[in-house]
Structure 1
């Protein structure tokens, strides 16, 4: 008998022809396209390679959409929207929004943060309504849209109250739904979840994508600091009243790190007034933009007078001009002659 050849003293393996795999006698639904197919192995879940690639891309998109939803839910903008819905008592203050109009509203909100110095001590400006949320003796509710919202100093906004002179964007109470009612004791997180259902997840995720919405540092800091109220010597209400900068300082103190005091300053009243007049001029039928050249001339005069240390326009006059401008933003009729008479003693050629 012949011996089999060996390699390194080991017997050579017998070469056997591989048998073709037998397809399973069963069917499955493709995990991607959901079509029925006959798998070749027990672990096959896609009918073809293209379906596997599609499913991976779909999973990635879903993960990104989930992340965008989470970022929206924990953003300061979402909490602002929830607070407005609670104040109005209905989600219908967001009636008629699209992805594009939500982005426009978010731009107004970002400008409001910039005007206030991004969370510095003390709030200079508020987000005011042209058409009030709850005007006296009216069946209309002011909407939270960029055409009905503007950045306004705290004092003129509080002085104005819920008076209505005209313009803005609103909805009749008969057009609101009982299903969209928001109670005063409802949690802000719960309202935010309802806002997402109101718009639809697709609209919210696309908005969060375009606007690049990010979670608020303020909410994160408050959540952490709530665990150390005794050490901080604060009540929960006092903690929630702290500015974002103050919250950061408290975190630094707890961790034993050096506290850095960053100076943040907001925008000037006249600069904000010019910005909001120009923005609303595109949707208002009255010619509110006609006030802008006078305000710009006032700014230029003040800047030049400061540089050469000459007589400036009295602050009392500037305040009168600004108060009139904010009344115009709230819907009061334009009166350029009134502003010209105030500024004539100081500005030439008006």
Structure 2
């Protein structure tokens, strides 16, 4: 006799579900889940929180970066955060790039006696009578320090500025405010998202000095008499000395990163700025630049620029908004120099002396000359010739011939 066996199916018990509130501050929805570890309502919430943490990290880097301390100095010089009005990510990247170029020309702060120092000079002056020149790459020119200091507030009517009537007292900054507080304020003025994006895209890092200083503060023991002496002297030590002190404490040889000298001549620097502005905001100065390009690329290596201080001043004035006619004679003399000695320069280009000496149109344009004393009383404007030309073709802004060494 066969016994029938009845198969029975065991019903699978339902998993326990947990009720939670989303950890994304922007969501906070209540949801249920079977996971013991899930804390976000949706993947998008997890991504948003992750991005916020990265943004905080990037902003923290900005508070210790040399570039933002440089901006803070310019804000205090202007007396208002509004000197940074209108910045976008692209304009801040351009400004940071110009800042790094100026550092390079100054050999990263290690300029020896007799070498030319360079500064970022305003086109529209920051202390204009009726306007505030903004701190932007399209309102700045890298130029020899002596020329910049002598330039004062001379104004050719170009550059980027805002009316002084637009300046709000709530954005005022005192020169006595701690620089770190100004950095925090300008980050709020620009917006943390914009600052975070700049730090990420431009790969801005905290200064070497800050990183070494932070390490020393963490590792020096104030109860140790020798360490206590070091702690009281930290602020007065150079970055190199701080690095050596750190290496000594680590009981190993100091490793100092040494930067090579730049050796950029004023001709080279002004020529580079000429090209940058010609390809961005000043298409009217591109034609004369093209003439020089033709000379430098179609002559032997013996030909290079050797501008006098007076010639450099003319280029400086043109870059600060002056008419291109200022340097017409200078360019013509360079062409004449090439053609007057064909055996030496072996010129193979097409520019002739007659072609480079043009009759420039003279359209009245305001040129404002003000000393700091005259700022108090105002000054009449004068007319100066300016060349009117249609926009030219844009070429690589940093394709600078190797003519000035």
Pairwise same-fold verdict (TM > 0.5):
yes
Secondary structure of the equivalent of 1:194?
Answer: helix
CA gap of 1:165–1:229, structure 2 versus 1, over 3 A, is farther
- Partner in structure 2 of residue 206 of structure 1: 197
Among 150, 156, 161, which residue is 1:165 paired with? 156
- Give 1:126 shift: 0.7
Among 16, 30, 37, which residue is 1:36 paired with? 30
- Give 1:112 shift: 1.4
Contact 1:112 1:127 in 2 (8 A): yes
Deviation digits for residues 116-160 of structure 1 (CA, Å, limit 9, x no counterpart): 23343347211110011103xx11010011110121111111111
| Structure 1 residues without counterparts, runs of 5 or longer | 1-15, 307-311
Secondary structure of the equivalent of 1:167?
Answer: coil
Contact 1:166 1:331 in 2 (8 A): yes
- Give 1:266 shift: 3.9
- Give 1:250 shift: 5.8
Among 259, 263, 268, which residue is 2:265 paired with? 268
Secondary structure of the equivalent of 1:202?
Answer: helix
CA gap of 1:254–1:346, structure 2 versus 1, over 3 A, is farther
- Partner in structure 1 of residue 375 of structure 2: none
- Give 1:296 shift: 4.3
Contact 1:115 1:125 in 2 (8 A): yes
Contact 2:315 2:327 in 1 (8 A): no
- Give 1:90 shift: 0.2
Q: Is it true that 1:251 corresponds to 2:248 in the alignment?
A: no
Partner Cα separation in structure 2 for residue 235 and residue 205 of structure 1: 30
Contact 1:29 1:45 in 2 (8 A): no
Secondary structure of the equivalent of 2:264?
Answer: coil
Contact 2:64 2:207 in 1 (8 A): yes
Partner Cα separation in structure 1 for residue 295 and residue 269 of structure 2: 14
- Give 1:85 shift: 0.4
- Partner in structure 2 of residue 83 of structure 1: 73
CA gap of 1:223–1:329, structure 2 versus 1, over 3 A, is farther
Q: Is it true that 1:279 corresponds to 2:264 in the alignment?
A: no
- Alpha-carbon RMSD across the aligned residues, in angstroms, is 3.8
Q: Is it true that 1:305 corresponds to 2:299 in the alignment?
A: no
Deviation digits for residues 19-56 of structure 1 (CA, Å, limit 9, x no counterpart): 656768xx653334433345669x676486xx2x4444
| Structure 2 residues without counterparts, runs of 5 or longer | 1-9, 221-226, 340-351, 354-405
Partner Cα separation in structure 2 for residue 46 and residue 253 of structure 1: 46
Secondary structure of the equivalent of 1:346?
Answer: helix
- Give 1:106 shift: 1.4
CA gap of 1:222–1:34, structure 2 versus 1, over 3 A, is closer
Partner Cα separation in structure 2 for residue 130 and residue 161 of structure 1: 11
Secondary structure of the equivalent of 1:332?
Answer: coil
Partner Cα separation in structure 1 for residue 323 and residue 288 of structure 2: 12
Among 122, 126, 133, which residue is 2:119 paired with? 126
Q: Is it true that 1:149 corresponds to 2:149 in the alignment?
A: no
Q: If each structure's helix is expressed as a fraction of its own residues, which one has the higher value?
A: 1
Provide TM-score, normalisation by structure 2.
0.65
Secondary structure of the equivalent of 1:83?
Answer: helix
Contact 2:318 2:327 in 1 (8 A): no
Partner Cα separation in structure 2 for residue 340 and residue 205 of structure 1: 45
Partner Cα separation in structure 1 for residue 331 and residue 38 of structure 2: 77
Contact 1:273 1:325 in 2 (8 A): yes
Structure 1, 81-90 or 171-180: larger mean CA deviation = 171-180
CA gap of 1:229–1:88, structure 2 versus 1, over 3 A, is farther
Provide TM-score, normalisation by structure 1.
0.74
- Give 1:285 shift: 5.2
- Partner in structure 2 of residue 182 of structure 1: 173
Secondary structure of the equivalent of 1:152?
Answer: strand
Contact 1:120 1:265 in 2 (8 A): no
- Give 1:249 shift: 5.7
